[in-house]
A and B are shown apart, each in its own frame.
Chain A
C-alpha cells in the first residue's frame, strides 16, 4: 500500500513498516461489550445478585401495590416466620445440590424426625432433651444412609433419595399411626419441643426463635463453605468430581459428610417445625422437598453443582415468601400464587443457564 512517488523510502529503513502497527502494550483481546454482555459477566461473577435483585424488586413492587400492610414490621416478620422451615430445608438441599446431587428425602426426613422426637418424649416418656438428641442423630443417620448408597453402592442421588423419601414416609406413618400429637399434650409433657415457636417482640415485629434459627443455620453453613478446606472440597467435588479426586480430595468422604450434614440440618428443621406447627403433625410438609428445591433454584444455586452461594437459597425462600404474602395482600387467588411461583422457578433456571454460557 505504499506510495513510492510521494514518500520515497530508503531501503535500509527497516523500522518504517512498524509506524502503522499497534503501539500499545500486549493485551488480551478486548470484547466490545454491549450492556447485556456486561450484565451477563457481572452475574457470572456474582451469582447471588440475581435473587437479590429479584427480592428487592418484588419487595418494592408489592410494597407499592399493598402499601403499609405489606411493609408493616409485623407482616415482614410473619413472612420470615412462614419461610423458616422451608428455609432450613433449603439449606440442607443446597449442600447436596452443590455436589451436583439432589435430595428428594429432605422433607420426609424432617417429618420423620419430628415424629421420633414427639413419640419418644410423649408416648415413650423419655426426657425431652434425650428425645431431641435421638432425633438429631437419627436425621444424621438418615442422611448417612443416602450418602452410603450414593458413594458406596454408586447409585444416582435422584434414585437413592427417591427411595428413601418413600421409606422415611412409610416409617413416619408407622411410628405416628398417622396421628398428630396435640399442641396441649406437648405443652404438658414436652414444652421444649415447641421452643422454636416462641418469639421475641421487636417493635411491631414478632421474631420467632425458628426464624433466628434459620438465619443461624445459613450463617454457620456459609462459614463452613467459604472459610474451611471442607467447604472448598464441596465446591470442587460438585464442579468436577474427577478433577477433585485427581487433586487429592477424598471425594467420597466429602460426599458422605455432605449427606450426613444435610440430614442433621433436616433434623434441626424437625425440631423447629414442631414449634412452628404447634403440634407433631405427620401429615404436614408433604411438599416440603419440592419447595426446598424451588428455593434453592430461585436462589441461584446451579443444579449442575459447584456454583452458587449458600446465601442464595435463603434469599430464594424469602422471595417465595414475599411473593405469596404480596399476592395474597393484593387479593390474588391461591391458584395464581402457585402459578407465579412456577414461572419464577423456570425463569431462575433460564437465567442460570444463560449465565453458565460464559463458562463453557
Chain B
C-alpha cells in the first residue's frame, strides 16, 4: 500500500506543478488521462492529442497511471483537471465502472468527457466514446483465418491467447469477435471460454507481452500439440507465441492472427510471423477527441455516434499480404504507413 500512496503523492505533486505552469496560458484547456505511459498505444495517443492541440491552440495537460489498473491516479488527474478550469477531458479508464462518479463530477462542472479506446460502464456515463470496434477487429481476423484454411477450418485446432484473468472488456470483445468470425458458436458473448466447440483447444492469458505470450502458447501446445490456429490479444503476445511454436518446431502450417497494428506487429505480418492483424488508430482517436473539445468550447456542440453503434468508431483495417475473398483488407505496405508505436 505504501507503494501506491508514494507513487500517487509523487504523481500529484508533478501534476500540480504542471498545472500551475499552464494556468494563465490560453483560453481552452484540455486534459488527456491514459492508463499508462508504458504502452506504445497510449504513447501514440498522447502524440496525436499533443499535435492536434498545438494545431488548434489548445493547452493540453497529460496524465497517466503508473500501471494498467492504477485507478487512484486517474481519479486525482480528473479532479486536478476540473480544478484547472479545462473545457474537456479525454480518458482511457483503467477501471471503467469506478471512474464513473468522478466523470459525473467533471460533466456537472461543465466539462466535455470523452472516453477514448475503452468505453465506460455504462457507456453513456461519458459524453461520447471514440474507440475501435474491438468486436469487429476480432471478427475480421476470425473471418480471415477461416477463409485462409478453407475446408480445413472444420478441423481447426484453435488456441486463444487472451489478456488477463480479470478479462477486461477489450479482451472479451476481441476474443468473442474472433470466434464468431471464425464460425464458432458463442455461449454468452460477455464471457470468455464458455463455448462448446471442440475446435477450441483452450484459453490462456498473456498479460499482452512477449513473455506471457510464449508461456501461454507452451501451455496450450502441451494440451494439444496439433494446434494450427492461434488468436492473440495483441502483437507482442503473438511474437511470444511464435517463439514457443519455434521451440516446439511447429511454425509451419500454423496461422497466427492478432489485433493492434503497431509498427513492430505489422513488420511481423510482413515477415510472415503473423498472418493478419487488425489495425486500430489511437492517434486518430486522440486527434478527433481534441477536435471535439474545441467544438464543445466554441459552440457547445457534442460529438455524435457512428450510425448503428453506441460510440464513434475510429475504424479498423485488416492488414495482410494474403487477402482472401469476402474480407476487405489493406496491404502490409499501407499498414506500415499508418502503424503506430
Q: Contact residues of A with B, CB < 8 Å? A: 69, 75, 78, 82, 162, 166, 173, 177-180, 182-184, 197, 199, 206, 273, 276-279, 281-286, 325, 328-329, 333-335, 338
A273 and B214 alpha carbons, distance in the complex (Å) = 12
Look across to chain A and name the residue whose beta carbon is closest to the beta carbon of B2: A162
> Given A69-B222, A277-B214, A281-B236, does the pair A162, B3 have CB atoms closer than 8 Å?
yes
- B222 to A78, Cβ gap below 8 A? yes
A241 to chain B, nearest CB (A): 24
- A281 to B3, Cβ gap below 8 A? no
A335 and B164 alpha carbons, distance in the complex (Å) = 9
B67 within 8 A of A: yes
> With a CB–CB cut-off of 8 A, which chain A residues contact B247?
197, 199, 206
Look across to chain B and name the residue whose beta carbon is closest to the beta carbon of A181: B264
A277 and B215 alpha carbons, distance in the complex (Å) = 9
In B16-55, which residues have CB < 8 Å from any A CB?
37-40, 43
B4 to chain A, nearest CB (A): 11
Q: Contact residues of B with A, CB < 8 Å? A: 2-3, 6-7, 37-40, 43, 67, 165, 204-205, 207-212, 214-215, 218-219, 222-223, 236, 239-240, 242-243, 246-247, 264, 267-268, 271, 273, 341
A177 and B267 alpha carbons, distance in the complex (Å) = 17
Partner among A173, A180, A329 whose Cβ is within 8 Å of the Cβ of B37:
A173
Partner among B2, B6, B215, B267 whose Cβ is within 8 Å of the Cβ of A182:
B267
Partner among B43, B239, B246 whose Cβ is within 8 Å of the Cβ of A180:
B239
- A180 to B271, Cβ gap below 8 A? no
- A82 to B215, Cβ gap below 8 A? yes
A206 and B267 alpha carbons, distance in the complex (Å) = 30
Partner among A206, A284, A335 whose Cβ is within 8 Å of the Cβ of B211:
A284
A179 and B208 alpha carbons, distance in the complex (Å) = 13
> With a CB–CB cut-off of 8 A, which chain B residues contact A179?
40, 264, 341
- A277 to B267, Cβ gap below 8 A? no
B140 to chain A, nearest CB (A): 23
> Given A173-B37, A278-B210, does the pair A182, B264 have CB atoms closer than 8 Å?
yes
B192 to chain A, nearest CB (A): 10
> Given A75-B222, A78-B218, A180-B264, does the pair A277, B43 have CB atoms closer than 8 Å?
no
> Given A162-B3, A162-B6, A183-B242, does the pair A285, B211 have CB atoms closer than 8 Å?
yes
Look across to chain A and name the residue whose beta carbon is closest to the beta carbon of B263: A179
Q: How many A-B residue pairs have CB under 8 A?
A: 95
- 17 of the cross-chain contacts (CB-CB < 8 Å) are A69-B222, A78-B222, A166-B7, A173-B37, A178-B341, A182-B267, A182-B268, A183-B239, A277-B211, A279-B243, A283-B38, A283-B209, A283-B236, A285-B211, A325-B219, A334-B165, A334-B205
Q: Give the 10 A-B CB pairs with smallest separation, nearest first.
A: A278-B243, A284-B211, A281-B210, A283-B209, A284-B209, A277-B210, A277-B211, A335-B165, A334-B165, A178-B38
A357 and B39 alpha carbons, distance in the complex (Å) = 48
A255 and B243 alpha carbons, distance in the complex (Å) = 39
- A184 to B219, Cβ gap below 8 A? no
A183 and B272 alpha carbons, distance in the complex (Å) = 13
A350 to chain B, nearest CB (A): 22
A335 and B192 alpha carbons, distance in the complex (Å) = 13
Partner among A162, A173, A199, A286 whose Cβ is within 8 Å of the Cβ of B207:
A286
- B2 to A184, Cβ gap below 8 A? no
> Given A162-B2, A286-B207, does the pair A278, B222 have CB atoms closer than 8 Å?
no
A165 to chain B, nearest CB (A): 8
> Given A178-B38, A179-B341, A278-B214, does the pair A283, B222 have CB atoms closer than 8 Å?
no
B231 to chain A, nearest CB (A): 16
A82 and B271 alpha carbons, distance in the complex (Å) = 27
A316 and B199 alpha carbons, distance in the complex (Å) = 36
A279 and B213 alpha carbons, distance in the complex (Å) = 12
Partner among A162, A279, A286 whose Cβ is within 8 Å of the Cβ of B67:
A286
Look across to chain B and name the residue whose beta carbon is closest to the beta carbon of A273: B211
- B222 to A180, Cβ gap below 8 A? no
Look across to chain B and name the residue whose beta carbon is closest to the beta carbon of A69: B222
- A281 to B2, Cβ gap below 8 A? no
> With a CB–CB cut-off of 8 A, which chain A residues contact B240?
277-279
- A178 to B243, Cβ gap below 8 A? no
> With a CB–CB cut-off of 8 A, which chain B residues contact A69?
222
> With a CB–CB cut-off of 8 A, which chain B residues contact A276?
211, 214
> With a CB–CB cut-off of 8 A, which chain A residues contact B264?
179-180, 182
Look across to chain A and name the residue whose beta carbon is closest to the beta carbon of B193: A333
> With a CB–CB cut-off of 8 A, which chain A residues contact B209?
281, 283-284
Look across to chain B and name the residue whose beta carbon is closest to the beta carbon of A158: B2
> With a CB–CB cut-off of 8 A, which chain A residues contact B37?
173, 178
> With a CB–CB cut-off of 8 A, which chain B residues contact A333?
165
Contacts A180-B210, A278-B240 known; 20 new A-B pairs at CB < 8 A? A162-B3, A162-B6, A178-B40, A178-B43, A179-B264, A180-B236, A182-B268, A184-B267, A197-B247, A199-B247, A273-B211, A277-B210, A277-B240, A278-B239, A281-B236, A284-B212, A325-B222, A329-B223, A334-B205, A338-B165
Look across to chain A and name the residue whose beta carbon is closest to the beta carbon of B162: A334
